[in-house]
Amino acid sequence: DFRIEKCKTKVYPDELPNTSVVIVFHNEAWSTLLRTVYSVINRSPHYLLSEVILVDDASERDFLKLTLENYVKNLEVPVKIIRMEERSGLIRARLRGAAASKGQVITFLDAHCECTVGWLEPLLARIKEDRKTVVCPIIDVISDDTFEYMAGSDMTYGGFNWKLNFRWYPVPQREMDRRKGDRTLPVRTPTMAGGLFSIDRNYFEEIGTYDAGMDIWGGENLEMSFRIWQCGGSLEIVTCSHVGHVFRKATPYTFPGGTGHVINKNNRRLAEVWMDEFKDFFYIISPGVVKVDYGDVSVRKTLRENLKCKPFSWYLENIYPDSQIPRRYYSLGEIRNVETNQCLDNMGRKENEKVGIFNCHGMGGNQVFSYTADKEIRTDDLCLDVSRLNGPVIMLKCHHMRGNQLWEYDAERLTLRHVNSNQCLDEPSEEDKMVPTMQDCSGSRSQQWLLRNMTLGA
């Protein structure tokens, strides 16, 4: 039992909706699959558990066929096995499981989880309060080496970066304030990890289930997160519910067409339908994406219109104001030195490393920077930062505190002045021709920079 003490004494209504638990598996190990099923059965009040539905996404292992069917017949809760005719991926397999389910709520779990004591009631109670709330448990970590169970944190929530990768970030102060310090209250989260959540079955239909045009797995969690928020629902992490999950170091199965292609296609679909002009941040930092055929999204765009969903700018303003994507910005593209005709380049560098300068290639990627309305020069979650006179200029995590990350761009003189040091960004020195320098502002051509807006995409 990994709940905080105050969660253990919470009382939930007697009349809660029941749930079908849908678990998709593909070549899953016997032990992890059964551990998941047993934990659902043993740690859920049976009157709340309508059924467990196992969806087999074309597994090849013999023990997952007749052996499994015979085994689950003896379990004390109805367990239904559905077989996909061919490998279809998580998204389509979950849709099949949902369509076959009978419960008032659908709870999706991965096939390598462990539900803990009291995991289910808080999820169902929140949906009873508000049927348009989609709820996730705190996801605890089960080691893929030792199967040790480690409690997750109620101090992180879901976000994403410019490449549309899901990321965990610290829960911001505004959300702490909204909950008035009560850690048993759900955390409103901009995005969900996607593997584990509960949703009212009728609401799942109304909101458009999954985008069936997406392949296998990847991107569907962000697509659903944007859609829920933009179309009038809400997404929460219910902190009194804990479910463990085995996080594997590598994906043990293949993606038809290759991992990169599948995830790029899925991400393009969500960008085209939900992100409006902010999709440029994704396209410009991942230029290879624009070559990917993403299929027809007209049905999803019609869904957005019919549901009268809000624009992505509303989502950034109201749901995710601390997003890595700036809501207001002056430019998005290359920063080119007038004297050398070279561009700032982060060279794929990580935090705490110097920014570089290279020949401009016009392909986005490492040479993409946004000059924001907050006067940051940022690429994804890293900002240009200068902490002492004459530099160096390094990439540091954006902290929104201004200070060493505050830059003034003079559109007439074309200078980038670092406010704290009152020095200007200048071309490299003779000692290191790959790194820009900080010098006293002189108005010379070497201190002139063109901030160019670029768009790569449809």
Q: Residue holding tokens 């379990």?
A: 75
Domain boundaries for CATH 3.90.550.10 within the chain: 5-246
pLDDT, tens digit only, all 458 positions of the chain: 999 999 999 999 989 999 999 999 999 999 999 999 999 999 999 999 999 999 999 999 999 999 999 999 999 899 999 999 998 888 899 999 999 999 999 999 999 999 999 999 999 999 999 999 999 999 999 999 999 999 988 899 999 999 999 999 999 999 999 999 899 999 999 999 988 999 999 999 999 999 888 876 678 899 999 999 999 999 999 999 999 999 887 665 555 565 567 788 889 999 999 999 999 999 998 888 888 888 999 999 999 999 999 999 999 999 999 999 999 999 999 999 999 999 999 887 678 888 999 999 888 889 999 999 999 999 999 999 998 888 789 999 998 888 899 999 999 999 999 999 999 999 988 888 889 999 999 989 999 999 988 776 54
- Count other Cβ atoms within 10 Å, centred on residue 365: 16
CA distance 225 to 218: 13
Which among 416, 408, 424, 406 is positioned nearest to 449, based on CA atoms?
Answer: 416
Which among 320, 105, 109 is positioned nearest to 226, based on CA atoms?
Answer: 320
Residue 150: Cβ-neighbour burial (10 angstroms; 0-12, 13-18, 19+): exposed
Sequential DSSP letters for 86-155:
S--HHHHHHHHHHHH--SSEEEEE-SSEEE-TT-HHHHHHHHHH-TTEEEEEEEEEE-TTT--EE---SS
The CATH architecture assigned to 5-246 reads Alpha-Beta Complex (3.90)
Residue 249: Cβ-neighbour burial (10 angstroms; 0-12, 13-18, 19+): exposed
Sequential DSSP letters for 262-308:
HHHHHHHHHHHHH-GGGHHHHHHHSGGGGGS-----HHHHHHHHHTT
Q: What is the pLDDT of residue 458?
A: 43
Which among 114, 162, 128, 146 is positioned nearest to 13, based on CA atoms?
Answer: 128
Q: Which two tokens stand for residue 298?
A: 């007209």
Q: Which two tokens stand for residue 133?
A: 């709330």
Half-sphere exposure of 81 (CA within 13 A, CB side): 21
Domain boundaries for CATH 2.80.10.50 within the chain: 329-451
Provide CATH code, domain 329-451: 2.80.10.50
- The pairing of beta strand 49-56 with beta strand 19-25: parallel
Query: 197 by DSSP, 3-state: which?
Result: strand
Cα R_g (the chain), whole angstroms: 25
